[in-house]
Chain A
């Protein structure tokens, strides 16, 4: 394991949701560290708090207690715009349901990641490089001939590959994948996982994979098990 500070860390992270007058604890003091180049599987039953933890680590939500640190610096309490900027620069997300924008082609869905942080003029100046990078990524995930297809014209596996390319275009340090194969058949799932892991290895990304699948978890460097909002192993 690396001696440098973890790329991503959770320290005593808690999360409560209010349901009427009831305060429901979902995470109860979770500690987790992920280093650059490390693949970590987050395993647990439904309701264990895996996705909630992933959202907190990806700065999509604020913890009720504890801290989230990027490169050793606390980031959980930053203003909305600053957290959005960090999310864009440091984190790539892959979700079970792909979340591609149906109006856009595969290429446009990937390019959208580059457009997020640039102005119209800024993007216009770098549009050729952006298109080249997006095309290269789509070719890397095996979709070089599907650039101008819309999500409705792609299979589940192809959609997930587009989502992976989109997550990688902004060159993040961390990829957070929430059950990325949960919606795919086993053959397609294996192909998608192989692709993700090869890119992870090639780029030295920190990789947090939320899954129910013991087999998939076994292919990671480390498995973190959660139960009832706490890390149990």
Chain B
């Protein structure tokens, strides 16, 4: 009983211990709030990527891959609902007679996109695409003003004014001041193979008419992507190979079986493209396809955790200093505790309890305040903006309408565990010093 009693008395009579509690609270708070916001952001990004992606994608198909054959192979799978051929290429878009805009400054990212000249040019079969992805919804998204919508969403890439059409992301359309019916030039390159096997790049310029804008939830996709008709792009890049398909988008019936379906499809595709006993092509889930991008965001969250853990280390040093001071002050008590029947283990427990109480209170306060802050962060942000005019978190930079937050119970438990372990280690050092203090030294002195 005396251990806990003394520990509490020592703590309550020393206001400096509030510093230690504050340190642990702040570190736990920061780990909860910042990681919750980042997890929320990751969650939102995943949702955005998901809305702009097919359930699965067949990629890396060889030059002899034929849509007529592969589409049948894919549709034979019981979980495949639809498939659409795609041709993903790259290029730059500019008005006729103008040069493309300059390349971005070094380090300038394309998170939202639309602020750099290089584009992902995707050739699609609109009819198949409408069945396979959210393409139909992107064309009639409420954010797209009527003036920028394509004339016929059922045939969005129908030639206009005798030219093939192009669908452009809403942000890029607005920034470039483009409207349906405007003429643009797509500049890209094809790689031709000569009869002797040598490969040489060939400049390709394609005059297009803007068909309209599209809008997904994934701003990065919208800003960096344009859609053109598959036949047009394939003809410009690969000539007369009308049945060639380098990539296929797939929609599944039951997303819960996506992983198993993807494995099955990969085996089927590789069997269909086998040459010299080697299968070609890979089938990826939407998550696997965007693994690098999503992994980058998750990696940044991991780095942030490490940075934030430094706050906990600082708090630990603060606690070590205050507990060490306390032990130095209280060595006089160690003698009388021994005389009354205390053991070195008991003395250790007194000071260990001090540290653990500090840590426990800090963890509870940190988790509580962190959870409240994370849940009401948007309201706090708006309150601060209303009171001071300062926007703490400019969410529109990330294409969001509010501060995202996703509280992860496992992470909160990990934070509590980390804090507890840190508190235990930091308390153990001064507590052991107290245990090794000779009680007779205290009893002999005044």
Residues of A that sit less than 8 Å from B by CB: 51, 55, 58, 60-61, 80-81, 84-85, 87-89, 91, 93, 95-97, 99-101, 103-104, 108, 112-113, 115-120, 122-123, 166, 170, 178
What separation, in Å, do the CA atoms of A55 and B335 have in the docked complex?
11
Nearest opposing residue in chain A for B332, CB measure: A99
Judge whether B5 and A60 touch: CB under 8 Å. no
Contact A104 B341 (CB under 8 A): no
19 new A-B pairs (CB below 8 Å) besides A84-B341, A93-B339? A51-B444, A80-B344, A81-B343, A81-B345, A84-B343, A97-B446, A99-B442, A100-B336, A103-B9, A103-B13, A104-B9, A112-B2, A115-B1, A115-B5, A116-B1, A116-B342, A123-B1, A170-B340, A170-B341
What residues on A are CB-neighbors of B154 within 8 Å? none
**Which residues on the B side are within 8 Å of A95 (C-beta)?**
336, 339, 443
Given contacts A101-B333, A103-B13, A115-B2, contact A58 B344 (CB under 8 A): no
Closest chain-A Cβ to B341's Cβ sits at a distance in Å of 3
* B10 beta carbon closer than 8 Å to chain A: yes
- Chain B residues near A60 (CB, 8 Å)? 338-339, 439-440, 443
Q: Within 8 Å of chain A (Cβ to Cβ): is B6? A: yes
Report whether A99 and B443 are in contact in the complex, using a CB–CB cutoff of 8 Å.
yes
Contacts of A61 in B (CB 8 A): 440
Q: Which residues, 338 to 395 on B, are CB-close (under 8 Å) to A?
A: 338-346
Residues of B within 8 A of A84 (CB): 338, 341-343, 346
B339 touches A58 (CB 8 A): yes
* Closest residue on chain B to residue A51 by CB atoms: B444
A151 to chain B, nearest CB (A): 12
A83 to chain B, nearest CB (A): 9
| Interface check B4, CB cutoff 8 A | yes
Measured in the bound complex, the distance between the Cα atoms of B2 and A103 in whole Å is: 13
Write the residues of chain B forming the contact surface with A, with a CB cutoff of 8 angstroms.
1-2, 4-6, 9-10, 13, 332-333, 335-346, 439-440, 442-446
Say which residue of B4, B6, B340 sits within 8 Å of A88 (CB atoms): B340
Q: How far is the CB of B331 from chain A (nearest CB, A)?
A: 12
Q: List 8 A-B contacts (CB under 8 A).
A: A55-B440, A91-B339, A96-B446, A99-B333, A99-B443, A103-B10, A103-B13, A178-B443
* CB <8 Å contact, B341 and A112: no
Residues from chain B with Cβ under 8 Å of A108 in the complex: 9
Which of A99, A103, A118, A123 contacts B339 (CB under 8 A)?
A: A99
Query: Sorted from nearest, which 4 A-B pairs have the closest CB atoms?
Result: A88-B341, A99-B336, A123-B1, A115-B2
In the assembled complex, the CB of A171 is this many whole angstroms from the nearest CB of chain B, namely: 13
CB A56 to nearest CB in B, in angstroms, measures 10
**Are the CB atoms of A119 and B13 closer together than 8 Å?**
no
A96 to B9, CA, bound (A): 24
Which residues of the other chain, A, contact B342 by a CB distance below 8 angstroms? 84, 116
Smallest CB gap from B439: residue in A = A60
- A119 CB contacts on chain B under 8 angstroms: 1
Find the A residue at minimum CB distance from B2.
A115
Chain B contacts for A118, CB-based, 8 A: 1
Nearest-CB residue, chain B, relative to A118:
B1
How far is B444's CA from A97's CA once the two chains are assembled, in angstroms? 9
Determine whether the beta carbon of B4 is less than 8 Å from that of A55: no
A118 CA / B4 CA spacing, docked (Å): 12
Contacts of A91 in B (CB 8 A): 339
Q: Which residue of A lies closest to B443 (CB)?
A: A95
Minimum Cβ distance to chain A for residue B3 (Å): 9
| Complex Cα–Cα for A84 and B333 (A) | 16
Chain A residues with Cβ under 8 A from B2's Cβ? 112, 115-116
* Best-surrounded residue of B1, B336, B339, B439 (most CB of chain A within 10 A): B339
Interface contact A87-B339, CB-CB below 8 Å: yes
Shortest A180–chain B CB gap in Å is 13
Which residues of chain A are near B333, meaning CB under 8 Å? Answer: 99, 101
Q: In this complex, what residue of A is CB-closest to B438?
A: A61
Name which residue of chain B comes closest to A150, CB basis: B13
Q: Which of B10, B333, B439 has most A Cβ within 10 Å? A: B333
B336 to chain A: closest residue by CB? A99
CB distance from A167 to the nearest CB of B (A): 9
Residues of A within 8 A of B440 (CB): 55, 60-61
Residues of B contacting A170 with CB < 8 Å? 340-341
Indicate whether A112 sits within 8 Å of B5 (C-beta atoms), given known contacts A60-B338, A99-B339, A103-B10. yes
Partner of B335, one of A99, A103, A120: A99
Of the residues A55, A85, A87, A123, contact of B443 by C-beta under 8 Å: A55
Report the minimal beta-carbon distance from B227 to chain A, rounded to whole angstroms: 71
Question: Which one of A80, A97, A113 has the highest number of Cβ atoms from chain B below 10 Å of its Cβ?
Answer: A97
Task: Compute how far the CA of A123 lies from the CA of B339 in the bound complex, rounded to whole angstroms.
Answer: 20
